């Protein structure tokens, strides 16, 4: 047998073994029901997992959600950059159409232009894992455990509530060791 063939078979066998050992993530537990009319409004970021699209945000990160006349969720995210300027991203949200029956806690958001909205890859998961108080705090994550946010209605949040939400997310297999806190 040629060495190249042996190496290919070894590599294939090694990859197969790794895939067999990979533990699939448990389903992400979300709120049983979310009243989107109560969820809309301003949310201030208290903590998040690092991500590429917020890498330049240093302060005053917030999201404004509204329902338009057609009932579509409008999203305006903004944050302050190192130089003091503000960056704004406008998007839309919807119920996750791939999940049946539809679940008001499992949303998708899109910040790409509307004409790209037919492409599944421009929609990102936005799953409301937990609400605390009277819609005062929200824990949002993605089923792949790559994205996580702790949001509150007030700029200054109760650190005990933020910590409790982070601990809850850790129990759902999020790695919170790199969480950015505000």
In this predicted structure, what is the pLDDT of residue 24?
62
Could you tell me the residue ranges of all domains in the chain? 25-181
Instruction: Evaluate if pTM is beyond 0.75.
Output: yes
pLDDT 10s digit of each residue in the chain, 182 long? 554 443 333 434 443 433 334 456 789 999 998 999 999 999 999 999 999 999 999 999 999 999 999 889 999 999 999 999 999 999 999 988 777 677 899 999 999 999 999 999 999 999 999 999 999 999 999 999 999 999 999 999 999 999 999 999 999 999 999 999 98
How many C-beta atoms lie closer than 10 Å to residue 180's C-beta?
A: 15
For residues 55 and 29, what is the distance between their CA atoms, to the nearest angstrom? 27
Buried b (16+ CB within 10 A) or exposed e, 125-135: bbbbbbbbeee
CATH superfamily of domain region 25-181:
Calycin beta-barrel core domain (2.40.128.20)
């Amino acid at each position: 047998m040629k060495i190249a063939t042996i190496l290919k078979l070894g590599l294939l066998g090694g990859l197969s073994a790794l895939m067999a050992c990979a533990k699939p993530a448990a389903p992400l537990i979300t709120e049983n029901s979310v009243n989107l009319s109560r969820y809309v409004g301003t949310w201030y970021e208290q903590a998040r997992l690092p991500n590429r699209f917020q890498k330049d945000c240093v302060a005053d990160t917030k999201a404004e959600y509204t329902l338009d006349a057609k009932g579509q969720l409008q999203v305006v995210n903004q944050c302050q950059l190192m130089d003091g300027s503000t960056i704004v991203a406008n998007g839309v949200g919807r119920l996750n159409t791939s999940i049946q029956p539809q679940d008001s806690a499992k949303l998708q958001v899109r910040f790409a232009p509307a004409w790209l909205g037919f492409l599944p890859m421009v929609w990102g998961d936005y799953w409301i894992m937990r609400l605390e108080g009277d819609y005062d705090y929200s824990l949002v994550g993605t089923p792949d455990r790559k994205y996580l946010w702790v949001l509150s209605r007030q700029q200054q949040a109760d650190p005990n509530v933020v910590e409790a939400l982070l601990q809850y997310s850790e129990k759902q297999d999020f790695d919170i060791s790199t969480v950015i806190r505000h």
